[in-house]
Chain A
Amino acid sequence: MDEHQILQILQSLLLAALTASVVLLLCGLPGPRRIRALVSSGGVVGAGLALYLACGVLRLLPKWPPLEDNDRNLLFLFPSVVLVELLACFAGRWRLVFWVPRLLIAAAAARVLLHGSIFIQAPDEYTPAEWTAAEAWWVLGGLAAALAGMWGLLYALVRRAPGRSVSIAVAGALAGSSVAVMLTGNATGGEPNLALAAALAGAVAASLLLRRLPDQAGIVGLGIVGLFAVLVAGRFFGSLTTLHGVVLFFSLVLAWLPELPYVRRFLKPWQRGLLRVALVAFPVVLVLIPVVQKSIADMTPSSENPVDTTSEDYKNFGK
Chain B
Amino acid sequence: MYQRFVGSVLAVGCLVIVGGFNAARAEDSYTVDDVHSSVTFKVSHLGLSNIHGRFDSFTGDFTIDENDPSKSHFGLSIKADTVDTNNAGRDTHLKSPDFFNTKQFPTISFKSTAVKAIKQGYEVTGDLTMHGVTKPVTMILEGGKKAEFPKGTQCTGFSTTVALKRSDFGIGDKSTDSIGDDVVISIGLEGFKKK
Contact = CB atoms under 8 A, between A and B. Distances in A.
Most chain A CB within a 10 A radius of its CB, from B93, B103, B106, B170:
B103
A292 B192 CA distance: 49
Nearest to B89: A298
B132 interface: yes
A124 interface: yes
Given A5-B174, A188-B174, A68 B96 contact: no
Main secondary structure of the interface of B (DSSP, over half): loop
A237 B92 CA distance: 11
Contacts of A185: 92-93, 96, 98
A242 to B, nearest CB: 15
Main secondary structure of the interface of A (DSSP, over half): loop
Contacts of A236: 103
Contact of B97 (A58, A63, A118, A189): A189
15 contacts: A58-B174, A59-B173, A67-B132, A69-B104, A117-B103, A118-B106, A124-B77, A185-B92, A185-B93, A187-B174, A188-B98, A236-B103, A237-B97, A237-B103, A298-B89
A119 B178 contact: no
Given A185-B96, A237-B104, A239-B96, 13 more contacts: A2-B177, A4-B177, A60-B174, A67-B104, A70-B97, A117-B103, A118-B104, A124-B107, A185-B98, A236-B103, A237-B96, A238-B96, A239-B92
Interface in B70-85: 77
Contacts of A269: none
Nearest to B105: A67
B170 A63 contact: yes
Contact of B101 (A59, A123, A237): A237
Interface residues of B, number: 24
A5 B77 CA distance: 33
Contacts of A119: 103
Interface residues of A, number: 31
A69 B97 contact: yes
A69 B103 CA distance: 11
A227 interface: no
A117 B132 CA distance: 11
A140 B85 CA distance: 34
B107 A68 contact: no
List the 8 closest pairs (A to B, CB-CB), nearest first: A123-B106, A298-B89, A67-B132, A185-B96, A185-B93, A186-B96, A237-B97, A238-B96
Interface in B96-127: 96-98, 101-107
A60 B172 CA distance: 11
Interface in A44-99: 58-60, 63, 67-70
B43 to A, nearest CB: 16
Interface in A1-36: 2, 4-5
Interface in B161-195: 170, 173-175, 177-178
